[in-house]
Amino acid sequence: MADVEKVHCLIIGSGPAGYTAAIYAARANLKPVLYQGLQPGGQLTITTDVENYPGYPNGIMGPQMMIDFEQQAQRMGADIRWGMATKVDASVRPFRVEIDEEKWIEADALIVATGASAKWLGLESEQRLNGHGVSACAVCDGFFFKGQEVAIVGAGDTACEEALYLSKLCSTVHMLVRRGEMRASKVMQARVLNTPNIKVYWNSETKEVMGEHKVDSIKILNHETKEETVIPVKAFFVAIGHTPNSNLFKGILDMDDQGYLITVPGTSKTNVEGIFACGDVQDKNYRQAVTAAGSGCMAALDTERYLGALEHAAH
């Protein structure tokens, strides 16, 4: 049989939720082991300036902030490792988690902080200008385009909410909707359509994001009229949904129809006792670094109580 290692508290994921859980768990002497996953630092490593995380009065670059989180967790004694959880067996106690398809970890408690990934259109130019005017988070990056013209693609509640947010900062928000109608709730649609500086383009597909080193315009195609239009904008926001990284837990943890893990409201508890979830994998609503960090703290505190009760019962 492959290698097996026993740990007390295992954390999967290395965004603000995972690292905060590690800081708290380490300070509570739970000897946490954290596996970082495919993208150490998570979604913040693909952003630039972060100005809305309290405690950084001059702002901070997203990747640097995640290095700070990691170092703080390490200083508290968390064991941070490169590696990816590839299988979970929650039918046994301790739980068993396979890492990199080659070794198994046995864990008394498990904290899931695997995050979510923004969906992208898949254009080469979108990727090239990511972080240079292309963003998947208006709340994070809208501020940098104060008074400018920007575009947003998407037609769900998130796109509407972000378009409204941008409309308060930017001179004009060009909103690109691929069909002749929006998926968003009627109330959100009405708000968007009644906002004078949001201009909605129906049946419109983004063909290209243009600009040498930063975004300067976009090219769109109207499917009805077959007309191509170039719109000068300084930023291009993609709001076409997120995918929670929860595949590993299919059939094990309760999730909603989009794959977000379901936790008991006000806690980080999942339907399996001893498995806790925090951060974006269980939050489709707020999705902020600070809310993820807060929920990571909750997961560590819930884990501490769970492990305390387990030890008490064993004596």
* Active site residues per annotation: 137, 140-141
Q: Cα(128)–Cα(123) distance, rounded to whole angstroms? A: 9
How many CA atoms are closer than 13 Å to the CA of 306, on its beta-carbon side? 24
Q: Minimum CB separation from ligand NDP for residue 161, in Å? A: 5
Q: Cα(299)–Cα(110) distance, rounded to whole angstroms? A: 9
The three-state secondary structure class of 179 is coil
Q: Minimum CB separation from ligand NDP for residue 289, in Å? A: 17
Nearer to ligand NDP, 175 or 215 (CB): 175
Q: Minimum CB separation from ligand NDP for residue 91, in Å? A: 31
Q: Cα(294)–Cα(276) distance, rounded to whole angstroms? A: 14
Q: Minimum CB separation from ligand NDP for residue 205, in Å? A: 7
Nearer to ligand NDP, 3 or 257 (CB): 257
Nearer to ligand NDP, 123 or 301 (CB): 123
Nearer to ligand NDP, 198 or 307 (CB): 198
Q: Cα(104)–Cα(98) distance, rounded to whole angstroms? A: 4
Ranked by CB distance to ligand NDP, the top (closest) residue is 156
Cβ proximity of 176 and 204 under 8 Å? yes
Q: Minimum CB separation from ligand NDP for residue 130, in Å? A: 16
Task: Find residue 107's DSSP bridge partners.
Answer: 7, 95
Nearer to ligand NDP, 56 or 202 (CB): 202
Nearer to ligand NDP, 179 or 223 (CB): 179
Nearer to ligand NDP, 139 or 297 (CB): 139
The CA–CA distances, whole Å, from 68 to 53, 155, 293 equal: 13, 36, 13
**Element holding 108 (H helix, E strand):** strand 103-112
The three-state secondary structure class of 202 is coil
Going by C-beta distance under 8 Å and a sequence separation of 6 or more, which residues neighbour residue 247? 259
Tokens of 191: 């708000």
Q: Minimum CB separation from ligand NDP for residue 77, in Å? A: 37
Q: Minimum CB separation from ligand NDP for residue 103, in Å? A: 36
Q: Cα(254)–Cα(186) distance, rounded to whole angstroms? A: 29
Going by C-beta distance under 8 Å and a sequence separation of 6 or more, which residues neighbour residue 265? none
The three-state secondary structure class of 118 is strand
Going by C-beta distance under 8 Å and a sequence separation of 6 or more, which residues neighbour residue 55? none
Q: Cα(132)–Cα(119) distance, rounded to whole angstroms? A: 17
Q: Give the binding site for ligand NDP (CB under 6 A).
A: 121, 153-159, 161, 178-179, 183, 240-241, 284
- Dihedral over Cα of 117, 121, 125, 131: its sign: negative
